[in-house]
Chains A and B, each alone.
Chain A
Amino acid sequence: MLKNLLPHVHPSRRRALQTLIASFSGMGLCGWMPVLAGATPPGAKRRHCILLWMNGGPSQTDTFDLKPGHPNGGQFQPIATAASGLRISEHLPRLATKAKHLAVLRGLSTNEGDHGRGTFTMRTGRRPDPLVRFPTLGSLVSNALVEQETALPGFIAVNPYFGFDATSFDAGYLGPQFAPLIVKPQASRNGTPFADFGVDNLQPTAPVAAARSTQRLELLKAFQAPVTAQPARGPLLAHRTMLERALQLVSSDAGKAFDLSQETPTVRDKYGRGTFGQGCLLARRLVEQGVSFVEVSLGDGGRWDTHSNNFATVRELSAELDAGWSSLMEDLESRGLLESTTIVWMGEFGRTPQINGSAGRDHFPAAWSAVLAGGGIRGGQSYGRTSADGMSVEDGRIDVGDLLATLCAAIGIDHTHLNVSEIGRPFRIADGKPVRAVLS
């Protein structure tokens, strides 16, 4: 019977929903947490993924695939890292000390040189298709890791930028239950120099007496009863799920994860004070709470899109990237979480090795880099090689499908698992071949 009530839900998710729906009839606020605590099977290790998303397309030549001695190389020099043989930009010095966790994929070659289409391709592994609403990476991964439901949603996006292509942030055919909880910057609290984030309204703005609060929830329960009792799909199911999730969030203390003021100023400072650094700190706190997939973006409005003044801009961005990313790995490692958390660094495309007349670099999807780090990754190496001028891939060419298949393998997800789209077409999580050489 319950199977019929929830026809389009992943079986494991269905079990969690059934419990939730059953408990709705006796909805006491504190009833939520115990229900969820048992959702992770005993003995199973929680897995996590953090996407560091670079808005605008980061220059590989000035970050992870330097070309010293060639005119295309530009102003930056490579430096040695903690991994012998792996050299990265001089403006990523702290990350260099963590290089034993990094696998730099230098043979990435994709087809899309437009911001919108590139964003879509890298975040879904697919070309835009008017007939299919493809899910974004976070939805795919959190859906596959659904066993580990927590009071917090499984997919949280910190400060995403929708300007290039909003559909690349959608849960697509997986349904809105797998859409990200979007966390946006808030005005800094108490005049601190740090960026702050928050989910608004976790606490009532105007609290009412406990008796009235209970009365309100009893009434809401009564009005929801017909909705809860009937088979639901589409917006009805989605709203019902969101309402349950929201109640769960306000009735637990999981929402405290968003409060960065619980961290010391020293810790906050080491991550970098901007939205990226503090976003990485938030990502660490969310992973500690069991969230499956967190994404943090760097480059509001597309700052990596350095058609002019490339070097000064990339230098600034590198400083933010270096502080946030290296601190994230350091803290995850000291908490024993790095081995179960896979980090992926990428943008929508790379940038031309040639330097244009405005000291800039333009869009270049033909030969660029992405980086995998942490759990499941054999770090301390680069994979793939571009030519001396950086214009072409000479060895270890991979496309976005291979990158995502490798990421899946590192997280422990079967990338050939088929999800069925709403028009009945099955799609693998990723179409590609995992790069075994970078998997541990």
Chain B
Amino acid sequence: MSLKPKRECDQGLNLLKLLSALVACLIGAAVAQGDDLSKASPEAVSARIDRLFEQAWLSAGVAPAPLADDATFLRRVTLDLTGLIPTAGEIRAFQADSRPDKRQIVIADLLTRPRHSNHLARLWREILLPRNTDATAVAAFEAWLQNRFQQNLVYDRLVQDILSARGTVAQSEPAIFFAANSTKPEDLAASSSRAFLGLQVRCAQCHDHPFASWKQSDFWGFAAFYARVQGPAGAGDQTPVDDRADGEVRHPKTLKAMIPQFLDGRQFAESTAEPRRAVLARWITAADNPFFARAAVNRAWWLMFGRGLVQPVDDLGANNPASHPEVLKLLADDFVAGGFDLRRTLQIIAGSKVYQLASQEGGAREGAAAYTAMAVRSLSAAQVYDALLQASGQRVSSPTPEMIRERSAFLAQFDAPSRDALEFQGGIPQVLSLLNGSMVARLTDPTTSDLIAALADSPFLNDRQRIETVFLATVSRSPRNNEWEPMLKIFESKHTAESRAQALGDILWALLNSSEFVLNR
């Protein structure tokens, strides 16, 4: 890593100090480890993560929870990797599977499903596009991302493709990233530093930030990389994204035209051969960029645990250290060595024991940072919607853009400010919708519910088996001993096929409205 030893302006001193410390830390740790990650199997890296956590627990004098049982694990990993809950059939098959490495096998399988790429596409779209982006543009961008993730296109290529977009939003989906940021240098700078580097330089847009190391000149120097991009002012604008030969951004106080400047202090040399943003894209995605890989693997961790190793997940500044720096470093090094393969990183995390621990009753936010138990997390509104369809027997395959739009309209009803999985995201409107809404009414009515109809009509099942299937399909477990009694009592008094089917529908209704259904344990 080449760093300029000293910068002329003292504004950079803080930043320089931070980077020197970071570099020293990275080099020191690399020497201590001294092995080749590119040849390590994902399982071996998972085991190394587990050792790091075991050491941390030992020195903190805390004991981890036991491993989650198979059904809980399957629900968790299916939700985290595909956004869906498992079907009753999947749970039964997984419980019956006696292979010792069945968890590894199911993780690998989930990662190749179209729903996995769809899930990642949705998450990355939420990261990349502001909330108020036009719905059609959102759908098109998400479909493009999904295609990329399905091909397991490596992450650095994905980011480069976005940053080097050309053409109109109709011709080229990555151009939507520019449209969503109004092709304004300051918005593009803030958005790309946050999304790809986990750096909150935006705070420095208006003034020097009192705590973080970024100075106003750092921000505007970074924004200068986008000074010569022209493009759409919004999603409806068909101006093509392209590069101009001139154009500058000015420092808002000194009014000086800013020379592009990388966030690690490296200087930029203007060249007619390639546009500024192409040079920026190369710097962002470089193997030795101290932030790119860490930001990506921290996101992956957040996806699996509901919190980042660095939390908040998009603030990797020096003021905000990782809870487990060695784990972050291990994953980041592996990510670089493995060629920016996001799927591999997710496989490593899902395969670790720390991911597979049972959840802590109550899901304390404080305890979550020690990772001695999995935190109880909330399903997002989108996951609730998909889980409703899935639980009631409707197969959710890869949705079309039309379906994405339809679902967005449904979800708009439940638009909650919070996107934090460690909080319940639904609010009262969502709860009311499950209690009284038409969707749940349809899904639980024997005359319209695929699940209830199929179960009620099946001559091979007895009441217990029917009830158990409804449990597996919704909360991914069998009824507990004390839950059987009230249910079986209801069935005793039902003597017609119709009333028994209704009773089954009522059980489904109650399960869909229970806390357990909307939580990921």
Q: Residues on A close to B: CB < 8 A?
A: 111-114, 117, 128-131, 153, 162-163, 166-170, 175-176, 179, 181-182, 184, 199-206, 212, 215-220, 222-224, 226-227, 230-240, 242-243, 245-247, 249-250, 301, 422
Interchain Cβ contacts under 8 Å between A and B, 24 examples: A111-B207, A162-B415, A163-B132, A166-B417, A167-B417, A168-B417, A179-B416, A179-B417, A179-B418, A182-B415, A182-B427, A184-B413, A200-B437, A219-B510, A227-B515, A230-B361, A230-B362, A232-B362, A233-B365, A239-B515, A240-B515, A242-B431, A249-B428, A250-B436
Contact A231 B361 (CB under 8 A): yes
Contact B365 A422 (CB under 8 A): yes
Q: Residues on B close to A: CB < 8 A?
A: 130-132, 200, 203, 205-207, 211, 312, 315, 317, 319-320, 361-366, 375-378, 413, 415-418, 421-433, 435-438, 441-442, 445, 480, 483, 486-487, 490, 502-503, 506-507, 509-511, 513-516, 518-519
A358 and B312 alpha carbons, distance in the complex (Å): 40
- Choose from A230, A237, A242 the contact partner of B428 (Cβ within 8 Å): A242
Closest 5 CB pairs of A and B: A238-B424, A219-B510, A163-B132, A206-B441, A235-B378
Contact A220 B422 (CB under 8 A): no
Chain B residues with Cβ below 8 Å from A224 are 514-515
A13 and B510 alpha carbons, distance in the complex (Å): 27
Chain B residues with Cβ below 8 Å from A204 are 435-436, 441
Counting chain B CB atoms within 10 Å of each CB, which of A176, A212, A249 scores highest? A176
Q: A219-B510, A235-B378, A238-B424 are in contact. Are A201 and B433 (CB under 8 A)?
A: yes
Chain B residues with Cβ below 8 Å from A176 are 418, 423-424, 427
Chain A residues with Cβ below 8 Å from B421 are 235
A113 and B206 alpha carbons, distance in the complex (Å): 8
Contact A162 B417 (CB under 8 A): yes
Chain B residues with Cβ below 8 Å from A243 are 431, 513, 515
A162 and B130 alpha carbons, distance in the complex (Å): 10
Contact B206 A206 (CB under 8 A): no
Q: How far is the CB of A288 from chain B (nearest CB, A)?
A: 20
Contact B423 A234 (CB under 8 A): yes
Q: A130-B200, A206-B445 are in contact. Are A236 and B509 (CB under 8 A)?
A: no
Contact B438 A246 (CB under 8 A): no
Contact A235 B423 (CB under 8 A): yes
Across the two chains, which residue of chain A brings its CB closest to B368? A234
A129 and B209 alpha carbons, distance in the complex (Å): 11
Chain A residues with Cβ below 8 Å from B502 are 212
A365 and B385 alpha carbons, distance in the complex (Å): 42
Chain A residues with Cβ below 8 Å from B317 are 130
Can you name 17 extra interface pairs (CB under 8 A) apart from A216-B506, A220-B513?
A: A130-B315, A131-B319, A131-B320, A162-B132, A162-B417, A200-B413, A204-B435, A204-B441, A205-B441, A219-B509, A230-B361, A235-B378, A235-B425, A239-B424, A239-B426, A239-B515, A249-B428
Q: A176-B423, A199-B432 are in contact. Are A223 and B510 (CB under 8 A)?
A: yes
Contact B131 A227 (CB under 8 A): no
Q: How far is the CB of A399 from chain B (nearest CB, A)?
A: 15
Chain B residues with Cβ below 8 Å from A242 are 424, 426-428, 430-431
Chain B residues with Cβ below 8 Å from A231 are 361-362
Q: How far is the CB of B261 from chain A (nearest CB, A)?
A: 22
Q: A204-B441, A212-B502 are in contact. Are A128 and B510 (CB under 8 A)?
A: no
Contact A114 B206 (CB under 8 A): yes
Chain B residues with Cβ below 8 Å from A216 are 506, 509-510
A232 and B521 alpha carbons, distance in the complex (Å): 13
Across the two chains, which residue of chain A brings its CB closest to B424? A238
Across the two chains, which residue of chain A brings its CB closest to B432? A201
Q: How far is the CB of A349 from chain B (nearest CB, A)?
A: 11
Q: A223-B514, A234-B362 are in contact. Are A202 and B418 (CB under 8 A)?
A: no
- Choose from B426, B435, B487 the contact partner of A219 (Cβ within 8 Å): B487
Q: How far is the CB of B90 from chain A (nearest CB, A)?
A: 22
Chain A residues with Cβ below 8 Å from B480 are 226
Chain B residues with Cβ below 8 Å from A217 are 510
Contact B375 A219 (CB under 8 A): no
Chain B residues with Cβ below 8 Å from A182 are 415-416, 427, 429
Q: A233-B363, A243-B513 are in contact. Are A222 and B424 (CB under 8 A)?
A: no
Chain A residues with Cβ below 8 Å from B315 are 130
Q: How far is the CB of B190 from chain A (nearest CB, A)?
A: 10
Chain B residues with Cβ below 8 Å from A220 are 509-510, 513-514
Chain B residues with Cβ below 8 Å from A153 are 428
Contact A236 B432 (CB under 8 A): no
- Choose from A128, A162, A200, A232 the contact partner of B131 (Cβ within 8 Å): A162
- Choose from B312, B483, B490 the contact partner of A223 (Cβ within 8 Å): B483
